[in-house]
Amino acid sequence: MMPPSPHATVVSLPTLADVEGYERKDQSVWQHIQAGYPRFVRNHLVAQAAEHAAQNLKRTGELFPLVSRRAAEKLLAWSGITDATIDPVGDWFLVATSTGPAAGKLSKLIQHTGTLISSRQAEAYLQKKSQADAGATSIAVIQEACAPYFSKAAKADILISLSGMNAVAAAIDAVNAVQAPRGRTVWIQLGWLYVDSARLFEKATHTQHEFVADVQDLASVEKLLAKGNVAAVFTEAPNNPQLETADILALRKLCDHYGAKLILDPSSVGITTLDLLPHADIVCSSLTKYAASKGDVMAGLLVVNPAKSDAQQLLKVARTELEPLHHLDAAVLAAQIQQMPKVSQALSRNAAELARRLSKHAAVVKVRTADTGSTATNFKALQRPGAGAGCLITIELTGEMRAVYDKIDLVKGPSFGVEFTIASPFLWLAHFDEVTSPAGRASVRAAGLDPDLLRISVGLESVEEIWSAFEDAFQK
């Protein structure tokens, strides 16, 4: 795990065989994992807290330590479970339910909405530390650090959540509360999204999901909007892993014309890179990336554009639906977020130089960055003065990806936007079923992606050090 901390948010998977074992839940791999990206890997402290509480309460079955009773009740209703127990445990709640398919569905919904307790919250419970909430000051510091990037919003209205996905889920709920009474229950997903965002739309029970794969296909978006029943369009700017950006200015005009909301997510490049709020009804983003650059805390952000219609109602519902960041995590983020502008700039500089070198190497077929390619103009139209293009690079190789991945001497696994470089076989982690079947690989290629692409999150190491790792892997 990286960093070497009990609260690490990155699991390193040294070989593609390890990735396969990780995805297939092979015990030979999972026995070594104590921490990782917290929505996918239950931190050992969180697991211990759940087991300890279950013993005290005499609960058995599948255990889910959740941050609030409201989240527990909502997710149980969504998954159709009626026999679960919900017990208060300090400042969190333990859900226990029978093992089976319904519990598996609940586990996935918890992953999508990011509502497990954090490792620090679990640690405090296990060590019987005071649960008094001293987070108001830390949250104010975080809001202060984010405020320059959302000048239209009041600082108090910059909502800080326990994860980026929880911010996304709250944004969706807020829009549905406004739009559903108007008969608007269709969501347009524009472009590939981070897997959990897409799953929220796919698994929704009261709304319909329309997927427009090409971010440049606004003609298809307009055809859907013209039906008059679209609640909102959701797109990432840029998306992940293509690093493509829609024409947000044109999309805004379409949404205004047809009465739809627009939700934008800049997680791939961070909030310091693109000026999105003037064009959005809601901006939601992960702060686990770029802001929490040490790689040891999860957080998210949601901001409603006060200049757009229904802003006050959207904000009111979002406040209710969002799960706040725990005060112990807020204190850690408050310290790290002070470096966010400097870190974002440095990561972008290193990524730009690494992309330049990779584009000239014979082992590389294609390099993608947010500020190059067919949507570069769209990206640059939103770029803040002096900002780079983020830490992400996507590369496609001439040879077998497995050989390069297995040999490259870097941290290898999920997540990005941290101070150390991470190589990720992104589609093997986000779309494992697709890339391990002929039909699935064909569908990925039809979407314009190489199933074996590598996504690189460039860190703060010297470019020469990072480049040396790639050169060695390419030559072996």
DSSP per-residue codes, 341-352: HHHHHHHHHHHH
Cα Rg, the chain, nearest whole Å: 21
Distance CA 365, CA 450 (A): 11
Could you give the domains of the chain?
A: 25-126 (no CATH), 136-338 (3.40.640.10), 340-475 (3.90.1150.10)
At residue 278, what is the residue type?
A: P
Position 476 scores a pLDDT of: 66
Distance CA 265, CA 383 (A): 14
Low-confidence ranges of the chain (pLDDT < 70): 130-134, 476
Q: DSSP string of 132-180?
A: ----HHHHHHHHHHHGGG-TTS-GGGSEEESSHHHHHHHHHHHHHHHHG
Q: Tell me the torsion sign for CA atoms 259, 176, 227, 282.
A: positive
Distance CA 442, CA 109 (A): 28
pTM for the full model?
0.95
Question: H or E element: which one contains 211?
Answer: strand 208-212
Position 198 scores a pLDDT of: 87
**Beta strands at 454-457 and 422-424: parallel, antiparallel or unpaired:** antiparallel
The answer for residues whose C-beta is within 8 angstroms of residue 220's C-beta and 6 or more apart is 212, 214
Reported as half-sphere exposure (CB side, CA atoms, 13 A), residue 165 has a value of 23
Distance CA 270, CA 341 (A): 10
Tokens 């524009």, located at residue: 190
Q: Which residues pair with 300 in a beta bridge?
A: 161, 286
Token couple for 446 = 């039809």
Q: Do 272 and 346 meet the contact criterion of CB atoms below 8 Å apart? A: no
Distance CA 192, CA 219 (A): 17
Q: 236 by DSSP, 3-state: which?
A: strand
Distance CA 59, CA 459 (A): 44
Position 448 scores a pLDDT of: 84
Instruction: Describe the crossing of helices 218-225 and 248-258 by its angle, rounded to 10 degrees.
Output: 10
Position 135 scores a pLDDT of: 72
CA distances from residue 71 to 132, 149, 232, 284, 324 in whole angstroms, order as listed: 21, 30, 24, 19, 12
Position 134 scores a pLDDT of: 65
Position 148 scores a pLDDT of: 97
Position 447 scores a pLDDT of: 80
* Selection from 266, 309, 73 nearest residue 179 by Cα: 309
Q: Is 231 exposed, middle or buried (0-12, 13-18, 19+ CB in 10 A)?
A: buried
